[in-house]
Amino acid sequence: MSLAAFFHEARRLLSGETDVATFQAALGESPSGVRRVAFYRVLIRRNMDKILREGCPALCARITHLRAGLWTELVDDFSDAHPATARNPNTFAAPFSDYLAQRRQSDPRIEPLWEEIADYYWLRFSAHVASDELPAGTLPDGLDHRVFVRQYSCKIPEYAQALTEDPATPPPERAPTPTLIYRHSRTLRVTAFYPTVYGLAALARRRGDDPRRLVPQLDVSQLDAVEAQLAEHGVLAAPITAK
């Protein structure tokens, strides 16, 4: 058997696609014994739980507080539907937000904001691990690389922080909130910022888009001032250039 075939069978076992008997039928009996081989499946599932629990602490706290057993159920179901395949195990959490959004359509136990909290945490991780050197083709200032723009239903970063302190915190009133999640261009700290419509227009200008699509009656001097503010907050890294 080739090494590729061995890893294929091992992945199927560890992801829960097959059992130990099927694994050993393909590869032969393990000198470690059935119980020890089977424990690797348990260990992998525990690691998947750890990745999601530590990657989305507020979400885990909220779900565990509301419904005993639901967190484990979600982790198990998500792990089966989205088995980890990347070299970096933390990327396992990437589709968790989409999974929660889809599951919410048929599961009344899922709160609407959970998918947004999962998305927020994933973007924090993405900004944190983004390379300092911008890849070829990256938008100016690392937009969509170390700076991410979202329109959340409320101030999700603040709500997530509140849940880590008290998981009983009720969801805030829904109020569409533009949110930037980014790694500061100088301090390298990952943080969030709530831009005004002029802030979004400044980002659009940096992308090469027409800011007047967001602000038809554009005041260029105000736009320049807001762009300077974004640079001060570490959102924009490039020098401010009037246009």
Q: What is the pLDDT of residues 111-122, one digit of tens each?
A: 999 999 999 999
Q: Does a structural domain hold residue 178? A: yes
Q: Does a structural domain hold residue 174? A: yes
Q: Does a structural domain hold residue 21? A: no
Relative orientation angle of helices 57-66 and 114-129, to the nearest 10 degrees: 160
65: containing domain: 32-194
pLDDT tens string 22-41: 888 888 888 878 888 888 87
Under a CB-based contact definition with an 8 Å cutoff, are residues 45 and 76 in contact? yes
Structure tokens at 172: 């805030």
Residue 242's pLDDT is 46
Q: Does a structural domain hold residue 128? A: yes
Q: Does a structural domain hold residue 209? A: no
Instruction: Give, in degrees to the nearest 5, the angle at Cα 31 between 30 and 34.
Output: 55
Please count the structural domains in the chain: 1
Please state the pTM of the whole predicted model.
0.84
Q: Does a structural domain hold residue 86? A: yes
Contacts of 77 (CB under 8 A, 6+ apart): 103
Q: Does a structural domain hold residue 181? A: yes
Please tell me the least confidently modeled range out of 53-62, 111-120, 153-162, 185-194: 185-194
Q: Does a structural domain hold residue 199? A: no
